[in-house]
Amino acid sequence: MNKKISKLGLGTSNIASLGKSLPYNKAKRLFDLAFDMNVSTIDTSDTYGSGDAERLIGKIIEDKRNNIFIISKVGYPYITLPKSMSPLNQFGKKILQGLKFKKRFKKKYILSGIEKSLKRLNINHLDAYLLHDLSIKDIFVHKDECFEALYLIKKKGLSRFIGISSNDHKALSFTIKNTNVDLIQTKMDFKKKNSSLLVEAKNKGLKIIVNSIFNQTLDHSLDIKVNELLKNFHINEKYKKTILITYCLLQKNIDCALFGTTNMEHLNLIGKGYEKYKVNFSELFAKLENLFK
């Protein structure tokens, strides 16, 4: 199977979340537009919408499974009540997370977690399965069993690739140095504090996915300089996010950049804009590179 991770990936943390969830038809149109623009990596998690994001994706991708690279994750507590009470799932999850319930990385939990995700997604294997927001503390507590569970999952063919999502430098470093995972997902690091870590990961052959490209505030003075640069290149401000995500993907260590949207217009700006800017604006990206140094 040579299905590859796509450069742009669609995040789904909002598509089924409280107060923001998309009805099936709207979600289907959004995903179909994404697939048309070669955004064929979908990132989800068991906890997004307490399982509803996976269920919605499962319905949408039914006839396209072979063309889509699906990532899911395990570890955050969530609740699934019987169907009649399912609207309460989301409140239950918020309460659990508000009470700082521990993340769940026991081997048994992870192994049953992937079975549940596959069932909700209505598929027989994932393309990548990740331990969700793994911290160094989680590793101290669960290292032997959580990575063992991932190896077993890969061996059984339940996921083609395995990995972690984390913003914890120590957890990333431990995982890169001491385990045999295939992939890491982490927050985009515009200031390049993690660059040596990413080089190390790349040298070990790991794939790197970045998230939180828009959900982080750039330093105010830097933000002003980015705006000025866009003006100098006669680029409308509505393309700023497109430029930022294209910049991420021009970094040689980054295989995939995730973005979240429930808005067709925003998806269009990014999908179509990426194709246009990545080839024609090398001078702009060289200047951005200097700004972020």
Ligand X SMILES: NC(=O)c1ccc[n+]([C@@H]2O[C@H](COP(=O)([O-])OP(=O)(O)OC[C@H]3O[C@@H](n4cnc5c(N)ncnc54)[C@H](OP(=O)(O)O)[C@@H]3O)[C@@H](O)[C@H]2O)c1
User: Does 40 engage in binding with ligand X (CB under 6 A)?
Assistant: no
Distance CA 76, CA 103 (A): 5
Q: Which residue has the tokens 């604006």?
A: 281
Q: How far is the CB of 177 from ligand X (least distance, A)?
A: 21
Q: Which stretch binds ligand X (CB under 6 A): 5-13, 95-103, 229-237, 282-290?
A: 5-13
Q: How far is the CB of 209 from ligand X (least distance, A)?
A: 9
Rounded to 5 degrees, φ, ψ at 270 are -80, -50
Residues 126-155 that bind ligand X (CB under 6 A): 132-133
User: Does 29 engage in binding with ligand X (CB under 6 A)?
Assistant: no
Identified binder of ligand X from the candidate list 105, 147, 247, 259, rule CB under 6 A: 259
Whether 70 and 42 have beta carbons less than 8 Å apart is answered as: yes
Which neighbouring-strand residues pair with 130?
73, 163
Q: How far is the CB of 85 from ligand X (least distance, A)?
A: 26
Whether 86 and 106 have beta carbons less than 8 Å apart is answered as: no
User: Does 212 engage in binding with ligand X (CB under 6 A)?
Assistant: yes
Residue nearer to ligand X on the CB measure, 147 or 273 = 273
Q: How far is the CB of 72 from ligand X (least distance, A)?
A: 10
Residue nearer to ligand X on the CB measure, 55 or 266 = 266
Identified binder of ligand X from the candidate list 61, 270, 284, 288, rule CB under 6 A: 270
Residues 73-102 that bind ligand X (CB under 6 A): 73
Residue nearer to ligand X on the CB measure, 157 or 261 = 261
Q: How far is the CB of 108 from ligand X (least distance, A)?
A: 22
For residue 136, what are its two tokens?
A: 């160094």
Cα separations (Å) of 274 from 15, 58, 79, 189?
22, 27, 38, 19
User: Does 261 engage in binding with ligand X (CB under 6 A)?
Assistant: yes
Residue nearer to ligand X on the CB measure, 156 or 170 = 170
Whether 216 and 245 have beta carbons less than 8 Å apart is answered as: no
Cα separations (Å) of 126 from 114, 154, 212, 274?
9, 10, 23, 27
User: Does 215 engage in binding with ligand X (CB under 6 A)?
Assistant: yes
For residue 221, what are its two tokens?
A: 């003075």
Among candidate residues 217, 104, 210, 110, the one with its CA nearest the CA of residue 167: 210
The angle that helices 282-291 and 240-249 make with each other, rounded to 10 degrees, is 80
Residue nearer to ligand X on the CB measure, 53 or 153 = 53
Q: Which residue is nearest to ligand X (CB)?
A: 11
Q: Which stretch binds ligand X (CB under 6 A): 31-39, 84-92, 106-114, 263-271?
A: 263-271
CB within 8 A of 1, min separation 6: which ones? 160
Distance CA 67, CA 6 (A): 10
Q: Binders of ligand X: how many residues, by CB under 6 A? A: 24
Mask of contacts with ligand X, 159-178, x by CB under 6 A?
A: ------x-------------
For residue 92, what are its two tokens?
A: 């239950």
Using CB under 6 A, list all residues that contact ligand X: 11-13, 43, 73, 132-133, 165, 185, 211-215, 241, 258-263, 266, 269-270
